[in-house]
Amino acid sequence: MRDVAIVGAGQTPYGDHPEAGIKELFASAFGAMADSVDRGFDATALDAAYVGSLGVGGSQLGITGASLTSHLGLTGLPVQRVENACASGGFALLDAVHAVGSGASDAVLAAGVEKMLDLSGDRSKYWLGVSGDTEYERLAGMTFAGVYAIAARRYLHETDAEREHLSRVAVKNHENGAVNPKAQFQREVSLERATGAPEIAAPLNLYDACPTTDGAACALVVPADEAREYTDDPVYVTGFGGGSDHLALHDRETITSLSAVREAAEAAYDRADKTPEDVDFAEVHDCFTIAELLAYEDLGFADRGEGWRLIAEGRTRRDGDLPVNTSGGLKAKGHPLGATGIGQVVEVFDQLRGDAGDRQVDGDVALSHNVGGSGGAATVFIYEVDA
């Protein structure tokens, strides 16, 4: 395969957008992406587009991609919606990387969009629930908070982690979100408040869960050897991988580790010829705080059962040796389902190019990790400024 690079990336602010539909959100993100391409960008040069979306609450379940690109005047462009629940954006990027890397395309849009906050409470729960096991777990009344609560309870039982370590993830990510102008929650949260929040599914409380969100994000993928035609500062995608697993917890070998993530990470590290120790910072899928602790281990940043030590020692804070979720993560930046994986790309792109403002950290090698549902699908990408 050819090497590939990202030469533009942009997103909407995440949050509540009552004035905008998915077309307007998509157009805003596309404009932000185009503005980030230093030498300009002709949209007619696009060969294809992949748009991640769970289905925007059913409002545009069919032919979502064409409804969005045609709004920009890009009729005739081959475009398809990519659905893998919360990992839809990550798989849209994976498809774009494959298309460019294979030589089939020379300029591909990877995008994601979701509009969740105009749904009623019951409808929102339904559209979140369809990403879980509908044959057993949903019929038994299981929610996503319940699924991750089971994992958290088991993790606290198997390891020396304490309940407070979950809350420390929330505190850290809110600190980062507070200095991200695109974040849904731009405010810090004290440890006392995070630990004392109302319980939603023991042992998880309100501050252990990410919000539902409106938002969109876009990234432009091109061959690496053409990247400097667009910018002097491309971001190279040197490693990538995807994985899958059973949807239902009762079908898995363990509920405190995600095999889909381990498979995706192994493929990404192998392709990039990197190890976890080479990663300078990461954006991980913290839909619940326990998910971030499990990611530390599944991505190889910590040994099995030892991930909690990274948060306890402050190593994943912005001033630590392995900053994680400098954007605020899903927890504070927000989680517009299909857009989340591409939103992670935007943060990596800005960080590696030195454009992250008050969130800026040092590093030349970054990782992003996007998970669908409770671990049924996952992608991992490695990015570098020098390839």
Q: Could you list the residue range(s) of the whole structural domain that residue 103 is in?
A: 4-119+213-235
Q: State whether 98 and 155 are in the same domain.
A: no
Q: Is residue 228 in a domain?
A: yes
Question: 1 vs 45, 138, 280, 368, CA distance in Å?
Answer: 21, 41, 26, 21
Q: Is residue 48 in a domain?
A: yes
Q: State whether 324 and 352 are in the same domain.
A: yes
Q: State whether 190 and 327 are in the same domain.
A: yes
Total number of domains constituting the chain:
2
Cβ-based neighbours of 8, under 8 Å, separated by 6 or more: 33, 34, 36, 37, 41, 218, 219, 220, 230, 231, 349
For residue 367, what is the enclosing H or E element? Answer: strand 365-372
Q: State whether 52 and 80 are in the same domain.
A: yes
Q: Is residue 125 in a domain?
A: no
Q: State whether 226 and 245 are in the same domain.
A: no
Q: State whether 18 and 36 are in the same domain.
A: yes
Q: What is the CATH number of the domain that holds 107?
A: 3.40.47.10
pLDDT digits (tens, 9 = 90+) for 155-180: 999 999 999 999 999 999 999 999 99
Q: State whether 275 and 367 are in the same domain.
A: yes
Q: Is residue 172 in a domain?
A: yes
Q: Is residue 157 in a domain?
A: yes
The predicted structure's pLDDT at residue 97: 98
Q: Which segments in the chain show pLDDT lower than 70?
A: 387
Q: Give the rounded distance of the alpha carbon of 159 from its chain centre.
A: 27
Catalytic residue numbers, as ranges: 86, 335
Q: State whether 33 and 175 are in the same domain.
A: no
Cβ-based neighbours of 372, under 8 Å, separated by 6 or more: 84, 85, 86, 87, 88, 90, 91, 131, 260, 378
* Pairwise CA distance, residues 203 & 218, whole Å: 36
Angle between helices 289-298 and 163-177 (to 10 degrees): 100
Neighbours of 44 (CB within 10 A): 10
Q: Is residue 321 in a domain?
A: yes
C-beta of residue 43 within 8 angstroms of C-beta of residue 57: no
Q: Is residue 225 in a domain?
A: yes
Give the chain's radius of gyration (CA, Å). Answer: 19
Q: State whether 60 and 202 are in the same domain.
A: no
Q: State whether 197 and 272 are in the same domain.
A: yes
Q: What is the Cβ-side half-sphere exposure of residue 209, based on CA atoms within 13 angstroms?
A: 20
* Length of the chain (residues): 387
Q: State whether 92 and 114 are in the same domain.
A: yes
* Pairwise CA distance, residues 25 & 31, whole Å: 10
* Pairwise CA distance, residues 229 & 353, whole Å: 16
- Region at 305 (left for phi over 0; alpha for psi -120 to 50; beta for the rest): left
Q: Is residue 272 in a domain?
A: yes
Q: State whether 178 and 107 are in the same domain.
A: no
CA dihedral sign, ordered 14, 15, 18, 19: negative
